Amino acid sequence: MTLDDSTRQVELDVSTAVDNLRQAQETIVATEKAVQVSQEALRLSNERLAAGTGTQLDVLTSQTNLTTARSNLVQAQFNYIAGVAQYQFAIGTETRYNDMFDSPDKRPDTLTNWEANKALRSRYDSPLDPDKPSTTKAKKESLSPPQGKIDFSND
């Protein structure tokens, strides 16, 4: 593979990632509108049922449609977050992720120098090494004697 081929591949990866981000953003807008429409349909179904002109089946159908719309919104938000990760991978940035879902319209912050160095050190000091406990708690437990008596009579 030549430098020109590599350059074209990177440009393609970045443009694909940008297109996927735009599509995911538009999908979020559309699914948010679908959730609003489904909420209004459920409200109207409940009012018709209360007035005696609707049926319980109409309300259940509206609830199902609202649940489906909300599920589609969550999937669209996930696709956006995955698109952000794909974009960051394509442009080669290290990012800091947390354990909570961030709002999909916010891009995760890049690592500080200290965090990047810590991540680099941790690549060579893996908790998966068989000779190392993975956490401080595991280390403490591995150095603690077992609780209670050990029965050797059945050996």
In a domain, 54, yes or no: yes
Pick the more confident residue, 72 or 138: 72
At residue 63, the pLDDT reads 95
Give a yes or no: residue 74 inside a domain: yes
122: confidence class by pLDDT, cuts 50, 70, 90? low
Look up the domain containing 21 and give its range.
Answer: 1-100
Region of 148 please: left (phi>0), alpha (psi -120 to 50) or beta.
left
Q: What is the pTM of this model?
A: 0.57
- Name the pLDDT band for 121 (thresholds 50, 70, 90): low
Torsion sign across C-alpha atoms 86, 99, 120, 122: negative
19-64 confidence digits (pLDDT tens): 888 899 999 999 999 999 999 999 999 999 999 898 999 999 999 9
43: which 2 tokens?
A: 């409200």
Structural domain contains residue 146? no
Which pLDDT score is estimated for 7?
Answer: 83
Q: Please check whether residue 28 lies inside any domain of the structure.
A: yes
Give the model's confidence band at 135: pLDDT under 50 very low, under 70 low, under 90 confident, else very high.
Answer: very low
Query: Domain for residue 89, yes or no?
Result: yes
* DSSP for residue 102: P
Cβ atoms of residues 49 and 59 within 8 Å: yes
Nearest to 82 by CA among 21, 32, 12: 21
Residue 3 counted as domain residue: yes
Total count of domains within the chain: 1
pLDDT, position 34: 96
